[in-house]
Amino acid sequence: MDACGVIIAGGSASRMGGREKPLLHLRGRPLIEHVADTARPQVGSLALNAKPEAGALYLETAVRDLPLLADSFGGEAGPLGGVLAGLAWVEANGARWLATFPADTPFLPHDLVARLSAGAGEEVPAVAVTEDRVQALCALWPVSARARLAEGIAAGRYRSLWWTLEEFGAARCLFDDEAAFFNVNTEEDLALAERMAARR
């Protein structure tokens, strides 16, 4: 599949005291490096969506080579702004699909994009789901969705990533391994991730 990817790292990390969550260390390395290790082999090119003021912090990590994409809504659109920035970048690179990866989810499946691409329609996104939830930041978007997404965000229609995927008729791809989508939101989660990583 002709796909590029973007790691979405533009959140506020309010439950981590405002610290840049993807830079917290798991087994001695920033969370985002674990995500990038899994994402890079699955896509043709990989970029990073982060707040402009945090961009310099990533220069000290192994993702410093990734293009830094800022969304055009100044962070007000949440992760949807990152998706839209990714779609613009993918289109400029001549690719047809954008794979999105959350920056705080270090155990993602190594076949995530392949399985999403098998479930995606010609012009319809695909999203990973587990028994408990829709993993809305683990998705594959067609570049053709860009104009509609931009208009919907600007009009205030699209605010929730999950709801927007539903509105676009996203195909759901079931994954059995719930732990693969474990995301780190709190100090307790980070401690649990350390224990999980030791067992993997």
Q: Please state, as a whole number, how many other Cβ atoms lie within 10 Å of the Cβ of residue 22.
A: 31
Query: CA gyration radius for the chain?
Result: 16
Cα–Cα distance for residue pair 82/4, rounded to 1 Å: 14
C-alpha dihedral over 7, 11, 16, 19, to 10 degrees? 80
Task: Return the structure tokens found at 9.
Answer: 């790292």
Placement of tokens 């990390």 in the chain: 13
Strands 25-26, 126-129: parallel, antiparallel or unpaired by DSSP? unpaired
3-state secondary structure of 132: coil
Placement of tokens 């030791």 in the chain: 198
Query: What total of structural domains would you count in the chain?
Result: 1
Question: pLDDT tens, position by position, for the chain (200 residues)?
Answer: 689 999 999 755 555 556 788 999 999 999 999 999 999 999 999 999 988 777 788 888 999 999 999 887 777 788 999 999 999 999 999 999 999 999 999 999 999 999 999 988 778 999 999 998 999 999 999 999 999 999 999 999 999 999 999 999 999 999 999 999 999 999 999 999 999 999 87
3-state secondary structure of 160: coil
- 100, β-bridge pairs: 6, 139
pTM of the model: 0.93
User: Quick one: which of 168, 3, 171 has its CA closest to 97?
Assistant: 3
Domain that holds residue 85: 3-199
3-state secondary structure of 182: coil
CATH code of the domain covering residue 58: 3.90.550.10
